[in-house]
Structure 1
Amino acid sequence: MLLIYLAPLIMVIDIVQLLVSERFIGVKQIRKGVHPVDGDRRLPSWAVLLWLAGMGIMWLYMVALVFDPRGGLQGALMLMVSIGGFALRRVCGLKWALVLMTVETAIRLGLLANMMMVVFFFGGRLLPPSYYD
């Protein structure tokens, strides 16, 4: 149940990472044709550390969620979306990276919201109580 209570925090981490990535590889940089790694614009060391810690927390959360009976399906789907998005970003390049990251984040947030609704509103059942009557 602890993983379910941590879902809002994970949602915030995911949104913050998307916002930071938009600032780092945003539309302005793509229009200029500037690759974020090539320029002099680098994130400070503390920001890189926070970024990596956020990614590590996200991946650990998704793996732990796979083994939770209440969120196993959502955890597995989140892992599949993240791995698929990572592979697509490698193939599609910088111009599609931000779009793919936005879609990934939206799917992960939707799965987390679905998991919280199932647990808190429907008592852990995938269908509402009125369905069983």
Structure 2
Amino acid sequence: MYNLNSLVKLIVVLLLSSSCSERISDSQDELGCLHASEVIKTATNAKGMIMKMEKEGKTIWYILSMEGVIGQETPTYDTRDLVIPCSLHSDFRKEGELVRFSGNLALYGKEFIDMPHVFLGALSDIEFIENELSL
């Protein structure tokens, strides 16, 4: 079983060391970033935490699922989905804030074949939520 901090650090290291990091940064400026990717699942009222990382002077915003794998009936905490929104309004660029979000998710790409839980997300809805005990 993975420790959450270890898993997040591993994902961050993979993202930062990836030669495709430009695609992540660029995706947040493109509203249609999923057009070339296959949507494999939909998040519906998923709970997550807004996070960010810096790469070559660019900020990459993402949402770390607080329920583990999005779409499973029961939460799992040893594996968590990481969603890189195609477009995240500046109002939601607040690190550490909890949100509830919905939208279509596509695998980030073959670069993460060993990390199947990194997604590009075309969000249809997002809202801040209070810190709930069920998180």
TM-score relative to the length of structure 1 = 0.23
Structure with the higher fraction of residues in strand conformation? 2
Structure with the higher fraction of residues in helix conformation? 1
Choose 1 or 2 for highest CA Rg: 1
